Structure 1
Amino acid sequence: MTKIVVVDNHGQFTHLERRALRDLGVDTELIDNETPPAEIDADGVVLSGGPDMDRTGKSAEYLDADMPVLGICLGMQLIAEELGGRVDSGDYGGYADVSVEIVDDDDPLTGTLHPETRVWASHADEVKELPEGFDLTAKSDVCGVEAMSDADRDLYGVQWHPEVAHTEEGEEIFENFLAICESA
């Protein structure tokens, strides 16, 4: 059975990320973000959302752990910042229901949602510049980088929260990430 760990970055919806994976039949575990990658045995990692980039513990170490990584909100921002992208305050601010345009219908994470989907996202902070090697996979009128992927390294990120009921096709994001983990 495929195992995906959820790294807890103290987000208010982190437990829902684990539940969404468990509901798909995935062996999943919520782990503290101070847990080193060498201490886990998993096929994939979800870097959860959270309130503060300064409280992400060892999350960045998972980017070199040779397994697929999905960053959600703060998790995506951490991926971008650690790999040379730029994160800054968003123009919009707090949580909102947003219509997102999927710009890459071949992307293994978001492509099945093409041409657009409705999501629940926080835009207090957001990726402003993609790291080298990443492709823009989704955007909106609110945020220029709603999702990004580096399929060669199996690193993916979404600004929105696929684990909440307000996101129309959130379960599909987790299904797609599961498929990525199973084929890695």
Structure 2
Amino acid sequence: MTKILVVDNHGQFTHLEHRALRDMGIETELIDNDTPPEDIDADGLVLSGGPSMDDIGNCAEYLDLDIPVLGICLGMQVMAHVLDGEIGEGEYGGYADVTVDITNEDDPLVGSLAPETRVWASHADEVKQVPSGFERTATSDVCGIEAMSDSDRDLYGVQWHPEVAHTEEGEEVFENFQSVCE
């Protein structure tokens, strides 16, 4: 059975990420972001959203564990920040229902959602430039980088929240990530 841990970055929807995976029959548990990397035994990690880049614990070190990682909102921004991308304030601001255009139909995480999907996302902060080795895999009219992937290293990020009911194909994102982890 695939084991995917959810790293708690203290976001308001973190428990929903954990529940979504559990409800899919995935072995999962919620761990705090200060868990030592050497204590992690999993087939994949979800870096949850959260309120602040100042409270990301050991998330940077988790990217070196050689297991697939899915960053959601702040989790995606952590990847960009740590791996030479750029993050910044979004022009749109808070939460909104957004139509996202999938720009790479072959992407293992979001390609199956093509050509577009409706999502619930916060754009207070967002990735402004993808890190080396990544490609932008989704965009919208309010955010230039709604998703990014480095399939060689199995590192993936989405600006939106696949775990909330307002995101139409959120479970499919988690299913696709499960497939990457297997």
Tell me, what secondary structure is at the counterpart of 1:64? Answer: coil
Give the match for residue 86 of structure 1: 86
Q: Point out where structure 2 has 5 or more consecutive residues left out of the alignment.
A: none
Give the match for residue 133 of structure 2: 133
In 2, the alpha carbon distance for the partners of 1:127 and 1:40 equals: 27
In 2, the alpha carbon distance for the partners of 1:137 and 1:62 equals: 22
TM-score when normalising by structure 2: 0.99
Matched, 1:174 2:178: no
TM-score when normalising by structure 1: 0.98
Q: Point out where structure 1 has 5 or more consecutive residues left out of the alignment.
A: none
Following superposition, the deviation at residue 36 of structure 1 comes to 1.4
Equivalent residues in 2 for 1:35-184, closer than 5 Å: 35-182=35-182
In 2, the alpha carbon distance for the partners of 1:37 and 1:105 equals: 33
In 2, the alpha carbon distance for the partners of 1:137 and 1:28 equals: 27
Tell me, what secondary structure is at the counterpart of 1:125? Answer: strand
Following superposition, the deviation at residue 2 of structure 1 comes to 0.7
1:4-45 CA-to-partner distances (Å, cap 9, x unmatched) read 000000000000000110111100000010001210210000
In 2, the alpha carbon distance for the partners of 1:89 and 1:166 equals: 23
In 1, the alpha carbon distance for the partners of 2:79 and 2:40 equals: 19
Which aligned runs of 4 or more in structure 1 are off by greater than 3 angstroms?
A: none
Following superposition, the deviation at residue 96 of structure 1 comes to 0.2
Following superposition, the deviation at residue 102 of structure 1 comes to 0.2
In 2, the alpha carbon distance for the partners of 1:176 and 1:146 equals: 17
Provide the aligned C-alpha RMSD in A.
0.4
